[in-house]
A = this chain, B = another copy of it.
Amino acid sequence: MTTTTRIVLAQRPHGEPTDDDLVEEQATLSDPEPGQALLQTLYLSLDPYMRGRMSDAKSYAEPVAVGDPMVGGTVSRVIDCPGGEFAAGDIVLGYGGWQTYSLEAVSYLRRLDPDAAPVSTALGVLGMPGFTAYAGLREIGRPEPGETVAVAAATGPVGSAVGQIAKAWGARTVGIAGGEKKVAHLRELGFDEAIDHRADDFADRLAAATPDGIDVYFENVGGKVFEAVLPRMNTYGRIPVCGLVSGYNSTSLPEGPDRSGLLLGAILTSSLTLRGFIQTEFVDTVMDDFVRDMTAWVAHGTVQYTEDVVDGFENVRDAFRGLLVGKNFGKLVVKVAD
């Protein structure tokens, strides 16, 4: 019997999730049976998709049930694994959720090598966000050398990987982010152009930065950035759509005019491809190549990554709210234990 501190979805949030929606509680975990492992959480990943799991609107995954702990990727230390698949002390990647200890099926766990890379990168550049970037670019965006690839939230874990992978494949890269500090970081990462979407003349800057238009726009934000990007898209442009964080807290449709016809019109007149995806679709076909390429790129410094490590499980909810409004800088993880 182990006591875990966890955060449950007490009720579905209306807008920004409050501490009444996400309630911290103590719970008791039973001892692991064969096929299970008891784990101590070291790092919890916080990602925008989790906001979707709190709602019961139609989505690509089942919502978290009211009363259940919030889900999430975790890097954990094995405490007890009666079947012997893992040794006590092994570090594993799992899906333990927002809690300090978890009981998981061993089939969902993957052993990590702490000597190969910092174990927290399994939640970021070498994990789901990095894979999202790689799979979306390779399978949908398909940038040719010399083409222009634009991405928003470009200092985020997906966006920064998108830009650096596209650059490694020979594309011209345009990063969009909010604030001068993030823009400066994009330049350090090697983006060919870096633009602040908070600037009053953002659309003009974007036009100046894309003299040959945009061939691939990796969409993970939505909203006003997308509006400015759309007229810059070249004929036969591709838009992988993997997230719309700007609208995740919305409780009603934005005010008019209705721009959906404008969007369809752009799709028609420029023969654009928009394709929504969730990375799980490509795990079977693309994961092996991703692990091979990304491990090498990270080792050689071709792809750099930034982590925003928040210390302490008690800060999970504040960190998540900050994520939804862009306060994090790099991949957001909560360090839960040493």
Contact = CB atoms under 8 A, between A and B. Distances in A.
Given A253-B257, A254-B256, A271-B281, 4 more contacts: A60-B271, A219-B264, A259-B260, A267-B276
Contacts of A263: 260, 263-264
Nearest to A265: B244
A268 B244 contact: yes
Interface string A262-303: 111111111111111110010000000000000000000000
B222 A261 contact: yes
Contacts of A251: none
B241 A268 contact: yes
A261 to B, nearest CB: 5
A122 B256 CA distance: 43
Contacts of A179: none
Interface in A221-266: 222-223, 226, 231, 235, 241-244, 247, 250, 252-266
Contact of A273 (B242, B260, B273): B273
Nearest to A268: B276
Given A272-B276, A275-B273, A276-B272, A261 B254 contact: yes
The oligomer's copy count stands at 2
A58 interface: yes
A262 B253 contact: yes
Contacts of A252: 257
B253 A259 contact: yes
Contacts of A247: 261, 265
Which of A244, A252, A276 lies at the interface centre, i.e. has the most chain B CB atoms within 10 A of its CB?
A276
Nearest to A253: B257
A59 interface: yes
Contacts of A266: 276
A234 to B, nearest CB: 11
Contacts of A60: 235, 268-271
A258 B261 contact: no
Which 3 pairs from chain A and chain B are nearest by CB?
A256-B256, A253-B257, A267-B276
A88 to B, nearest CB: 40
Contacts of A222: 261, 264
Contact of A250 (B254, B261, B272): B261
